[in-house]
Amino acid sequence: MSEQDHCCSSGRATERTDKTKSNLVSRLNRVEGQIRGIRGMVEKDVYCDDILNQIAAVQSALNAVGKILLEGHMKSCVMDRIQQGDNEVIDELLKTMNKLMK
C-alpha cells in the first residue's frame, strides 16, 4: 500500500496506513483524556469559563481529527468512486461535510 490511504471499494471499510492510524488513535486518546478531565472539572465545581475553554480545546482537537479523515477520504475513497463512475459519492460527501460544519 502507498503512503495514501485507500478505500475498500467492495465494502464500507477504509484501509489506512499504520502511520495514519497511529496518528488518529493518538489524537483520539488525547481527546478521551480531555473529556475525562472535563468531567472531573464539573464534578469539582470548577469555574465555568475554565470548563468552557477545555470544551473548546476538545472541539478543536476533534476538528483536527475530522480534517485528517476528510482529506484521506477525498483523496482515496471519493476519488476512487468518481473514477469508477459513481458520482453519488459527491452527494454523500456534501451531506457529511454539512454535518461536520454544524
Domain interval for residue 14: 7-100
In a domain, 16, yes or no: yes
Cross-strand bridge partners of residue 7: 14
CATH number at residue 68: 1.20.58.1000
In a domain, 89, yes or no: yes
Residue 4 has pLDDT above 90, yes or no: no
In a domain, 1, yes or no: no
* Number of domains composing the chain: 1
In a domain, 57, yes or no: yes
Predicted pLDDT at 3: 39
Asked whether the beta carbons of 81 and 9 are under 8 A apart, the reply is yes
Predicted pLDDT at 10: 47
Region label for 2, one of left (φ > 0), alpha (ψ between -120 and 50) or beta (otherwise): beta
First to last CA, the chain: 34
In a domain, 2, yes or no: no
Determine which helix (DSSP H) or strand (DSSP E) holds 15, and give its type and residue range: strand 14-15
Predicted pLDDT at 24: 97
| Overall pTM > 0.85 | no
Give the pLDDT band (50/70/90) at residue 54.
very high
Determine which helix (DSSP H) or strand (DSSP E) holds 37, and give its type and residue range: helix 18-43
DSSP 91: H
pLDDT in tens, 20-35: 999 999 999 999 999 9
Cα separation, 87 vs 28, in Å, equals: 31
In a domain, 55, yes or no: yes
DSSP 76: I
pLDDT in tens, 70-102: 999 999 999 999 999 999 999 999 999 999 988
Predicted pLDDT at 7: 55
